[in-house]
Structure 1
Amino acid sequence: MWSLAIFWLMGWAAEAHTHNFRTWQAKDGLQQNIVHDIVQTEEGYLWLATAAGLVRFDGVSFERYASIDEPGLVGDRVHDLLLDRQQRLWLATDLGVSVLINGEFRIISEEADGVSQLALAVDDTVWAATFNHGLQQLPLQGFVPEDTAPLHCVAVSVPRRHVWSTCRDGGGIASRLDPATGTTTLLEFQSDEEFTETLALDDGSVLVGTTRRLYRWKHDRLTPLPLDGIPSLSVSSLTKGPDGNIWVGSRTEGILQLTGDLEVFGFLEGAPDHPLEKVFHDREGITWLGFAGGGLVRATPNHVATLPRGPVGPDKSAVFAFRDDDGGVWSSISSCDGVTRTTPQNVARVTDLPTTCVWAMAEMPSGTMWFGGWRGGATRYDRNARRVVENLLPVTEAQAVLALHPDEQQRMWIGSTLGVDRWEEGSLTHVDAIPQVDVRHIFEDNDGSMWFGTMDGLFHLVGDKVRRYGAADGLASGVVRHVVSDGDVLLVATYGGGLHYLAGDRFRRIGAKHGLTDDFLSHIFLDQLGYVWVSGNGGLCWF
């Protein structure tokens, strides 16, 4: 039997920054699970630096570029990527540096021991931290800081006009170079830490990450950030997110988020437990994570927002919410206050429907909205013109439309307290195979057959043949609120009987004694990761 986890939503705190995570690894087509770096070119592709070569990702599939097929690709172990302002893609590899220009790879420098990191200066100079020849300007302009002779460089960053680097000659030496004058300032970190990353801040200061902690460089001084209660951080990535927060990637502690004022916002919860190499935000604001051993991960936030008091808000009880193809959210209110459409810009009320007690909504591919409710029949509504196109079914006290479903053949199925009707190309037909029962939910299966959840059991319509499922078939309650399928298993939420799944010709039950919050269920949702979410009077649970 499945194990269940219970969520009591009222207890969630504002500091819980939960995300949905989608992971791609070798089993999903990614050639190697070590992703060091991520960039996005103007075509929209993501490019990944992996331990097995350069990889291009189009959101569906991966394409690997290797030196055996690309003579201009100097090495296959790619440590770092850099996209310059001319959209040229630079690669730091175990054998030197290559650049991808207009679909062609070119070798820029060959280093027997490789290049660890690349950085772009404000004058478009590319700097390289090499494993055996110190800090380099590309192409092939070596630079050795004053009074030191570092050979093994592991980090380079150019947050503004100065070049920050960490090079080793027995011990770690962190320096700050002014290319205009050639002067170098040695940076004083603790003996057990090395500089790793920088981020230019809006006030002119620089956020500095090391293998132990975070600093702020301001007025030529390096000051540790007072991150009380946070363990030492091995910083691998610094970036500013679309939300304005600063994302700190750590190989040891995951992802820490800071506000723009460098106050602690919180840790990102639920990220994979692998050393984090890179945090990257694409042009659409989606966050991508590269892990050493964990592959590529997409992180999308779980947004929970409360609308202000007014047409829809915390003083209202929403009975139905529906998102249209343009991202607008349509909602109806239990107090029969009608329908509103909410976007980030405004909240607009629909005023000309035949009823304000709307309990069902659906959208056709044409963009036409359908509404159903108490004493209002079924209504077709043009959301672009903001007008009613047609009212269907007689408006009577006895008939309420409580379920709507558009099928794959562009037909609208209408469930009411008097059975089922079907609208097709302007014509309305009563479905005589379904008796005059109170229909609360309609679901189309993969084979095109239709399921109807009613106040008197579950009905399955195949062609013109119908079968009813009730107590004799394993349903513990005849009040069926919701039906879904993942293609293999049919799940049914009942009000009073818990959750059911169809096994052969009979339903099996999962109830409160198996871990559900209670047996009075209203909705089932299947997420992208394969989890089943169930809501009811007792709250929300998943398994």
Structure 2
Amino acid sequence: MPDGASPRRMRETNGSGGTAVAASTTLDKQPLSSMLGAMERWIRWFCAFFTLLVAAIPAVASQQVVTRIWQSQDGLPGNVVRSLVQSSDGYLWVATAEGIARFDGFEFQLVTPAGDLRRFRLSFFRVFATSNGDVWAATYQGGLFRVRIDGLEPVLPNISRPQPPLVTQLIDGGTRSVVFRRGDEYGRVSPDGEATTIEPDDLLLGKFNEDLERQRQAGRVVGDDGHPVLTDRRDRTWISDASGGLHVTGLDGEPVRVDFGGRLFTFGVNELHEDREGNIWVASPVNGLARLRPARVETIDVSSSSGDRTFLSVMQDSGGAWWFASRRGGLVRWTPGETQSAEFAATRFHRSIAAVCEDREQRIWAASRDGSVFLRADGRFEPQFTRTQVPSKVRSIVQTLDGTLWFGGSQGLSTVSGETVRRFGP
């Protein structure tokens, strides 16, 4: 049974199997040895049939998907992974049987409970993330905690009775609060962490229903759903089956089996999750945390008007277009099916574009390591600074949260904020 399946579901599954065997009155009246022989023949037949069925489903080729698996020896708190979520700052939060950890793509940082919570073994069920950056964790004892990297903040206490109601939903509630559902109970958590019971109106119930559907399509088991299913941004459907395997169905409708590096039918899936980059994450009740990402590298022809195929900088803008800066001075805007060479105002400098940046106002900046800094306006790049101004000979551009643009190059660092230009360094 995958980790996290309810005892009620397990009994139903076992009951189904028992009914299938006991349904034949003839089998019930046969001697024990005859019954066992019949069962062995049935099992051999089923295994042969299942093997043929699996063999009929093509496996994902190794050149199409790269699989990376993290386990306890890689820093994961435990190999029983129950739930995962990505917070607004990009971190992945992983709930395991041994605790919760934050993952930055390189290493795991374990969240260690403080104070009296150290005395309890918390069995985490599910993690949630809200738009304000908070992360929340629900337990199998019906509890709810706000997760901080330095500890856990209790919100709802655990319930000391068998099979307590669980927090299965948590959504933004406005005015910096969140609302949750625990069994048939609804509640609100204020910004200071105080939980109160509420009676949801039709509007709130509608939001909870929408959240259920989002969870269902985003790789979580909802209600009596048997196995997680995820529909990704490319309209591919990832489906976990009863054998512990994972299949992906493309637009052609053909299922393709995902190969987990020799752990095909023993991997198991508790949850699926698609992050902002389009990676698919698998929470396994057996083998830890897995990431699936496309491995195919496509070559595209983005040669500039000069014929140069050597590029110094590349950027994707907010509209999805790619900008490629070539060594000989060309700047190419590329979208599928169309390649355009950018137009620059004439200057006396050789334009070897070394940096391209889109600011938060969706303006495109291009910097030459041999001369000017340009800003795109009305489809044309115009120089922004006179010879006596800085920055120039720029190799990197970045914008900070306060809107300040930073330019770095062979003449040091410079900033531009509104009409003010400042220089740092020699």
Specify the TM-score bucket, using the shorter chain as the normaliser. Answer: 0.3 to 0.5
Q: Which has more helix, going by share of residues? A: 2
Instruction: Mark the structure with the bigger radius of gyration.
Output: 1
Q: Which has more strand, going by share of residues? A: 1
Normalization by structure 1: what TM-score?
A: 0.38
